Amino acid sequence: MFDAQCDLAALVYAPHQDPDAVLRGFAADLIARGHRVVGMVQAGQCADSSLSAILLHSGEKLLLAQDFDPAAQGCRLDLARLQNAGTQIADALSHGADLVIINRFGKRERDGKGLSYLIERALDADIPVVIAVGKDHFADWIKFAGGMSVKLGCDRGALDAWWQAVSAQDADPIVDEHPTVCEIFK
């Protein structure tokens, strides 16, 4: 069961969809309204040397691809560069945030590596988190999140509605005799 007011949201996308554009636009609008958004959004493609990410809190573009090897097959993610990005996000997170955006949930996060520790750190600090999750990784996501997640379609309307619900919780708590599933497990 998904709870629309849960602080953890998966922006679930199909291969033909662009979650990066949705997350970039969403983050830019929140930042323009004065919210502190920490995290990163992917830029470029995983299978070539253009793989990079934009750090949302600073606007810095980081190369995430391995040094180009024309013989390489599959994703060219450089794990050391990913960890460096994670360190920069963790540092920014230590100064506070209204929202954390993680660019992708993949095999590394499924195995408790990659940027998974940032999700836990943010949720421990009661900071909402949204992460892009491919449809092909959604079952792994549910296991990782213990079912404690909102499933959003890969569109701006769904993301805006989720943000409105979670940010309204912080701004004006509503007394409810029936706590949500996420509230019970916090």
Q: Spell out the domain ranges in the chain.
A: 8-185
CATH number of this structure's domain 8-185: 3.40.50.300
pLDDT reading at 52 higher than 90: no
Per the model's pLDDT, the better-predicted residue between 3 and 66 turns out to be: 66
The answer to whether residue 33 scores a pLDDT higher than 90 is yes
Q: Is the pTM of this model over 0.85?
A: no
Phi-psi region of 44 (alpha: psi -120 to 50; beta: other; left: phi over 0): left
Question: 3-state secondary structure string, the chain?
Answer: CCCCCCCEEEEEECCCCCHHHHHHHHHHHHHHCCCCEEEEEEECCCCCCCCEEEECCCCCEEECECCCCCCCCCCCECHHHHHHHHHHHHHHHCCCCCEEEEEEECHHHHCCCCCHHHHHHHHHCCCCEEEEEEHHHHHHHHHHHCCCCEEEECCHHHHHHHHHHHHHHHHCCCCCCCCCHHHHHC
- Per-residue pLDDT, 174: 45
pLDDT band at residue 3 using 50, 70 and 90 as cut-offs: very low
Residue 153: band (very low, low, confident or very high) from pLDDT cuts 50, 70, 90: very high
Residues 8-23 pLDDT 10s: 999 999 999 999 999 9
Q: How confident is the model at residue 65 (pLDDT cuts 50, 70, 90)?
A: confident
Query: What's the mean pLDDT when you consider all of the chain?
Result: 83
Which of 41-45, 80-84, 88-92 shows the lowest per-residue confidence on average (mean pLDDT)? 41-45
Instruction: Using CB atoms within 10 Å of the CB of residue 105, give its burial: 0 to 12 exposed, 13 to 18 middle, 19+ buried.
Output: buried
Q: Please, which pLDDT band fits residue 133 given cuts at 50, 70 and 90?
A: very high
Span 91-132, pLDDT tens digits? 999 999 999 999 889 888 888 788 889 999 999 999 999 999
Residues 175-185 have pLDDT tens digits of 455 555 555 55
